[in-house]
Structure 1
Amino acid sequence: MSREDPFIERVSQSAKLVNGHYNIGLPLRKEDAEFPNNRCMAEQRALSLKRKLNKSPQFREDYVKFMADILDKGYAIKVEKGSQDGSKNTWYILHHGVVVGGI
């Protein structure tokens, strides 16, 4: 292991068991890291997903069912519009639907 990047130590210090699942903090080199603003890219990805959902009723049905399951299990949470603070440590996860097994 590199002394300059003690990944294992950071992960070990932040690991917690929550509702039967392990959570770890992001192993950032600096606690006060600043991320570039990627909101525009996330919005473009969402628009692309919206077009795909509108084109395929079956894909939309499968996607809605899958997302409801993810939310019900607590693997993800719904973020209310306007709750983001827009700070320098905000990062938007680019989202898209994937068909497993092909068509």
Structure 2
Amino acid sequence: MSIEDHRFLHLLEEGMVKRQDLHYEMPLPLKTDNVSLPSNRQVAEKRWRQLTARFKKNPQFLNDYRAFMDEVIKTCAERAPVHSVEGMVNYVPHTGVYHPRKPGKIRVVFDCSAKCNGISLNDHLLQGPDLTNELLGVLCRFR
């Protein structure tokens, strides 16, 4: 494992807590402590306008989306602080998609790779260790 992989695991070991509602809360695995992100509010507002246009075209999409987001807000969202620190605020655009084999079941996708001035939130996050098996190892164990 790389140094960044070890740092990622250390951050999660130190910062992960089990909440009273039995969910786990983990810190963002930031590459550095002094992250400075450009204000991406315009990108998020543009995506929101596209989403509201889609809501107007498809009322069922709006109802499914609202139900999903109400559940997210109720179970795992936190209220953002009123006073924000410049460079530490990042709006995460989102949209809803339906799976072709699961009609009527929406999945909301949060886009942390949305770029603003060539920078996204994902650019500042540690990737974490690769936990997939290597093909050579799988082939050697195959019988």
State TM-score, norm by structure 2: 0.60
Distance 2:31 2:68 in 1: 34
How far apart are 1:84 and its partner, in Å? 5.6
- Considering only CA atoms, is the larger Rg found in Structure 1 or Structure 2? 2
Distance 1:45 1:28 in 2: 25
Q: How many residues align?
A: 99
Distance 1:84 1:44 in 2: 23
How far apart are 1:15 and its partner, in Å? 0.7
1:93 aligns with 2:92: yes
Show the counterpart of 2:2.
Answer: 2
Task: Answer 1 or 2: which has greater strand percent.
Answer: 2
Of residues 15, 21, 26 in structure 1, which corresponds to 2:28? 26
Q: In percent, how many aligned pairs have the same letter? A: 28
Secondary structure of residue in 2 paired with 1:97: strand
How far apart are 1:11 and its partner, in Å? 1.3
Equivalent pair of 1:35/1:90 in contact (CA under 8 Å): yes
Closer, same or farther: CA 53–84 of 1 in aligned 2, 3 Å: farther
RMSD: 2.2
Distance 2:30 2:56 in 1: 38
Show the counterpart of 1:57.
Answer: 59
State TM-score, norm by structure 1: 0.81
Show the counterpart of 1:66.
Answer: 68
